[in-house]
């Protein structure tokens, strides 16, 4: 419809008709009351939990807030369609309903928190601390403003957050990790396997004669979809990027210096320390060891006496945040280099901490990062400039002006491209497009004459496009693609023959032949690989081969996919080892923490579901869709 109006608007008669049409629309709003339409939307509830109703207005505000935070995080505008595809609409509503359920129980249980405790928690929040580690009022104001709060609203929201957290910690906190579960997860994550293998490639299947016409036609008939000519679209594209409006040379040294002073922590490395810890069964034993260290016995000597493995003793060169036990972290970062702590009552027992090398915090000088800072400030400023240009373009589009003419007015380039769904032109080469995937998705969801929304790009810019023509996908005849079909047939035949040869070799080995004798018959060397874990590819082994290794019993052989479909590995699993689970290991403590958090979340989810079932809950799908509408915010 908009495209037709633009076309009509290019003549004087058309402009009169369009003006009259909009006049009637404006008059209609005046008669019917657009204010009532907006106000009524706020009274439509998208969900309820017990006596709490979640209005369309509050849901929309929460959704927009999350959308804006996502946009800031990715440094580009996120469209409503993108957010919905990622499930953001459901996540926001689920969060609001969970909070409503917890708020209901908080009120029922009479939970409360003092103003002093709230203030103390805010002052201690690391998100509000500056580079000096102290509460920063400017940082606090900026952070809550970005979240859409004033100070009173933020404190009120935080009070609810802390009370919910109190209840959540009661329900899901303090979970004891079952030993069987810990052992199972440890086994899955830590098991390593050693294998011997032989590679079988295309050179082992001999020459492949060219197929006759019947075989080629049969292969083509089975694979016709792979040889279709793709759909092409002729598109006019205009791109607006931050680089088009950003002006780093207009950022003063004083402005860049002020930014540097406010954000010094971003331009350096945190302090690191080489930390060792000894865990003792009791505080008494730890104190006895500490007395010996003070008397002249070295930390290392006591560790050797106690036969503590190096991996349990050494935490490595770490930052404070990398040490999961807060008391151990505090002790380690309070010591001088080569210092040893007093006994500490840690999370996993009594601990003595020793610090070796200390790498101090390092901050790059302003002169080294001035260019980077000016570019960032310019990009930040360009957001407003980009929006101004965006609005100017949209105003001209609304007046039915063609994209090519708009490009001349705003000094941008409008290009004509012809592209398929994969982003290739008719020459098979990639067509240059900003934010290719998003633009291609929008282009192939549109049609000739359709008025298209601008596509937001990851760098904070926009892409406008018009579909000028569509060349439909079609089935190509065998004669048109004969060379491609012959090449595909040959590749498929090689892959089948290689797989058959590998299966034959596996059968021989599992029937009693040795891998070495089979390798000799193939003219190949037996290779080996050790310390293979389940997670992904490992050295010469693809992820599929690793999965096959862990699906095969020790002492048995199997065929696994190699680096391509035309390569196979004949694999023999020689051994499987699971390292012992030692409770004092740092890795075990981290594993327990992961499992504990997962179990706590599961328990809290079950609790919330039961509360919602008990007090009643529901979702109005139609109101939810109406609250968000379509397009981009």
The predicted-structure confidence for 135-145, as pLDDT tens digits, reads as follows 777 778 878 87
The owner of tokens 């959308």 is 67
User: Span 391-400, mean pLDDT?
Assistant: 89
* ∠ CA 141-64-615, rounded to 5°: 100
* ∠ CA 197-202-207, rounded to 5°: 145
| Same fold? 41-175+586-633, 271-360 | no
Pair of tokens at residue 135: 């509460």
Please answer whether residues 595 and 177 qualify as being in contact, where contact means their C-beta atoms are separated by less than 8 angstroms. yes
The Cα 301–Cα 92 span in angstroms is 56
The Cα 37–Cα 29 span in angstroms is 10
What is the pTM assigned to this prediction? 0.51
The owner of tokens 């991996």 is 311
Beta bridge pairs of residue 280: 350
Domain ranges of the chain: 1-32, 41-175+586-633, 192-227+481-577, 232-252+368-471, 271-360
Query: Is pLDDT above 60 for 616?
Result: yes
The owner of tokens 């003595």 is 352
pLDDT of 485 reads 93
pLDDT of 584 reads 67
Report which secondary-structure segment, H or E, holds 162.
Answer: helix 151-172
Output DSSP code: residue 365.
-
Task: Count CA atoms within 13 Å of residue 509 on its CB side.
Answer: 26
Measured in degrees and rounded to the nearest 5, phi and psi for residue 87 equal 85, 20
Q: What share of the chain is helix, strand, coil (3-state, %, to 5)?
A: 55, 15, 30
The Cα 265–Cα 315 span in angstroms is 24
Give one DSSP letter per residue of 208-272, joined into a string: -PPPPHHHHHHHHHHTGGGGPBPPEEEEEEEEE-HHHH--GGGS-HHHHHHHHHHTGGGGEE--E
The Cα 239–Cα 463 span in angstroms is 4
Query: Is pLDDT above 80 for 36?
Result: no
User: Span 10-25, mean pLDDT?
Assistant: 40
Q: Would you identify the CATH topology of the domain 41-175+586-633?
A: Triger factor/SurA peptide-binding fold (1.10.4030)
The Cα 66–Cα 104 span in angstroms is 24
pLDDT digits (tens, 9 = 90+) for 294-353: 999 999 999 988 888 877 788 888 888 788 888 999 999 999 999 999 999 987 789 999
pLDDT digits (tens, 9 = 90+) for 550-581: 999 999 999 999 888 899 999 999 999 988 88
Supply the mean pLDDT for the chain.
Answer: 84
Q: How far apart are the first and last CA of the chain?
A: 22
pLDDT digits (tens, 9 = 90+) for 490-546: 999 999 999 999 999 999 999 999 999 999 999 999 999 998 998 877 777 888 899
User: Span 275-283, mean pLDDT?
Assistant: 90
Query: Is pLDDT above 80 for 481?
Result: yes
Please answer whether residues 574 and 197 qualify as being in contact, where contact means their C-beta atoms are separated by less than 8 angstroms. no
What confidence category does residue 132 fall into, taking pLDDT thresholds of 50, 70 and 90?
low
CATH number belonging to the domain at 271-360, selected among 2.60.40.3950, 3.10.50.40, 3.30.1490.190, 3.10.20.600: 3.10.50.40
Query: Is pLDDT above 90 for 361?
Result: no
pLDDT of 140 reads 82
What confidence category does residue 441 fall into, taking pLDDT thresholds of 50, 70 and 90?
confident
pLDDT of 33 reads 39
pLDDT digits (tens, 9 = 90+) for 214-273: 999 999 999 888 888 899 999 999 999 887 877 788 888 888 888 888 887 678 787 899
pLDDT of 19 reads 41
Q: Is 327 exposed, middle or buried (0-12, 13-18, 19+ CB in 10 A)?
A: middle
């Amino acid at each position: 419809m908009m495209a037709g109006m633009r076309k009509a608007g290019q003549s004087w008669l058309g402009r009169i008709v369009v003006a009259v049409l909009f006049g009637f629309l404006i008059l209609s709003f005046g008669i019917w009351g657009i204010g009532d339409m907006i106000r009524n939307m706020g009274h439509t509830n998208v969900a309820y939990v017990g006596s709490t109703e979640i209005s369309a207005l509050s849901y929309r505000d929460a959704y927009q807030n999350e959308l804006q935070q996502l946009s800031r995080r990715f440094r580009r505008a996120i469209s409503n369609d993108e957010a919905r595809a990622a499930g953001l609409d459901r996540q926001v509503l689920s969060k609001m309903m969970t909070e409503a359920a917890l708020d209901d129980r908080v009120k029922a249980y009479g939970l409360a928190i003092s103003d002093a405790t709230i203030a103390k928690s805010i002052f201690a929040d690391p998100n509000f601390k500056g580079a000096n580690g102290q509460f920063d009022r400017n940082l606090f104001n900026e952070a809550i403003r970005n979240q859409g709060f004033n100070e009173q609203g933020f404190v009120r929201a935080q009070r609810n957050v802390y009370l919910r957290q109190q209840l959540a910690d009661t329900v899901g906190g303090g979970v004891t990790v079952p030993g069987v579960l810990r052992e199972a997860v440890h086994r899955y994550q830590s098991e390593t396997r050693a294998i011997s293998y032989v590679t079988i490639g295309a050179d082992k299947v001999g020459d492949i004669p060219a197929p006759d016409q019947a075989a080629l036609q049969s292969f083509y008939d089975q694979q016709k979809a792979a040889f279709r000519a793709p759909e092409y679209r002729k598109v006019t594209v205009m791109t607006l990027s931050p680089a088009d409006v950003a002006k780093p040379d207009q950022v003063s040294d004083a402005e860049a210096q002020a930014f540097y002073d406010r954000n010094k922590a971003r331009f350096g490395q945190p302090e690191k320390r080489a930390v060792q810890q000894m865990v003792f069964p009791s505080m008494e034993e730890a104190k006895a060891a500490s007395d010996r260290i003070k008397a002249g016995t070295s930390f290392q000597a006591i560790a050797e006496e106690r036969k503590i493995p190096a991996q349990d003793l050494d935490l490595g060169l770490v930052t404070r945040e990398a040490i999961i036990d807060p008391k151990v972290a505090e002790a380690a970062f309070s010591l001088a280099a080569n210092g040893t702590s007093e006994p500490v009552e840690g999370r996993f027992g009594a601990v003595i901490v020793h610090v070796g090398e200390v790498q101090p915090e390092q901050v790059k000088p302003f002169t080294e990062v001035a260019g980077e800072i000016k570019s960032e400030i310019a990009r930040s400023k360009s957001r407003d400039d980009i929006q101004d240009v965006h609005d100017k373009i949209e105003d001209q589009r609304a007046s039915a002006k063609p994209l090519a003419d708009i490009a001349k007015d705003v000094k941008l380039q409008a290009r004509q491209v012809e592209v398929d769904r994969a982003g290739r032109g008719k020459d098979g080469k990639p067509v240059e497009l900003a934010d290719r995937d998003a633009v291609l998705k929008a282009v192939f969801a549109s049609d000739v004459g359709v008025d298209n929304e601008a596509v937001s790009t990851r760098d904070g810019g926009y892409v406008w496009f018009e579909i000028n023509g569509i060349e439909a996908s079609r089935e190509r005849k065998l004669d048109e693609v004969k060379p491609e079909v012959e090449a595909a047939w040959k590749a498929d035949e090689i892959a089948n023959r290689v797989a058959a040869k590998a299966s034959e070799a596996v059968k021989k080995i599992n029937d009693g032949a040795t891998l070495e004798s089979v390798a000799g018959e193939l003219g190949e060397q037996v290779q080996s690989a050790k310390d293979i874990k389940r997670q992904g590819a490992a050295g010469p082994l693809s992820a599929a081969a690793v999965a096959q290794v862990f699906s095969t019993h020790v002492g048995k052989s199997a065929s696994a996919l190699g680096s391509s479909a035309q390569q196979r590995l004949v694999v023999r699993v020689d051994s499987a080892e699971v390292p012992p689970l030692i409770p004092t290991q740092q890795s075990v403590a981290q594993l327990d923490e992961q499992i504990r958090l997962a179990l706590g979340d599961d328990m809290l989810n079950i609790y919330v579901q039961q509360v919602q079932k008990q007090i009643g809950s529901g979702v109005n799908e139609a109101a939810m869709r109406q609250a968000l509408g379509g397009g981009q915010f």
